[in-house]
Amino acid sequence: MKYYVVDVFTDRLFSGNPAGVCLLDSWPADETLQNIAAENNLSETAFLVKIDGGYNLRWFTPTLEIDLCGHATMGAAFILFDEAERSARELRFSTLSGVLTVTRGGDERLWMDFPAWSAEPAPNYPALAKAFGTDRFETYKAADLMAVLESGDEIGRLRPDFEALKKVEAEAGMPDNSFGVIITAPGQDCDFVSRYFAPNAGVDEDPVTGRSHCLLTPYWSKRLGRPKMTARQLSRRGGLLWVEDFGERVKIGGRVKLYLSGDIRTE
């Protein structure tokens, strides 16, 4: 099968979030998909099969299948626009989170249309406070958990206790291991900054996360009073995103760089 690695939410190689993209003629066994994702050992690998009107798209971390992934979706769209769908302006993906679209924009940006998540206030769970070494944050709960801190400097300095973070699932009553924990704060050279941790899903820290901006975008849009914003993720690799709040949907924009192309053998 054809295999690619792309760096997403960046215009430079060796930054942003690397994603694996596999183009398939048909679906192999789920065990094979999981083995490939584990062998690649990237935060997510996207698998695609063409169907009438678009593509079926699934995402796997090294340990499990997840229901939504942003950077691997954008990476998959980049490969299709470059390889199999050169004349297309928009691509449609059928996923566990419904139909998602990616369109070409100006300035080499791609734009994803994703669901918006509204968050409810939640307690500062003891495992979160232990993991962060502080209880000076506000907690919100949706498909992921979000902790809002006072400054971007705190976000960059934070060194979480990942074993403590794993225990948040039970305290917060999260339904499965696919959830993550977002930390966020106001930005200095952008509107807001964040980081994303998902140790229960086999990803201690995700470099740049599209999924988390389903929650971050409506939160910061309401807090800042404007729909269009820029965001940075402050992982070691770092990344830049453009986001826009559309009520029940959000638009998430970014750039992509191709790093690797080749073939995977499963026999």
Q: Which residues 6+ apart lie within 8 Å of 2 measured at CB?
A: 22, 23, 261, 262, 263, 264
Q: Which fold has domain 120-252?
A: Diaminopimelate Epimerase; Chain A, domain 1 (3.10.310)
Percent of the chain with pLDDT strictly greater than 90: 97
Q: How far apart are CA 159 and CA 164, in angstroms?
A: 12
Q: Which fold has domain 2-111+254-263?
A: Diaminopimelate Epimerase; Chain A, domain 1 (3.10.310)
pTM of the predicted protein model: 0.95
21-54 residue pLDDT tens: 999 999 999 999 999 999 999 999 999 999 999 9
CATH fold match for the domains 2-111+254-263 and 120-252: yes
The question of whether 171 is a catalytic residue gets the answer no
| Cα angle: 164, vertex 168, 173; to 5 degrees | 160
Torsion, CA 136, CA 138, CA 139, CA 144, rounded to 10: -100
Residue 198, token pair as written in the block: 């998902």
190-212 residue pLDDT tens: 999 999 999 999 999 999 999 99
225-250 residue pLDDT tens: 999 999 999 999 999 999 999 999 99
- Of 31, 39, 44, 85, which is the active-site residue? 44
The pLDDT of residue 267 is above 90: no
The pLDDT of residue 176 is above 90: no
| Domains of the chain, residue spans | 2-111+254-263, 120-252
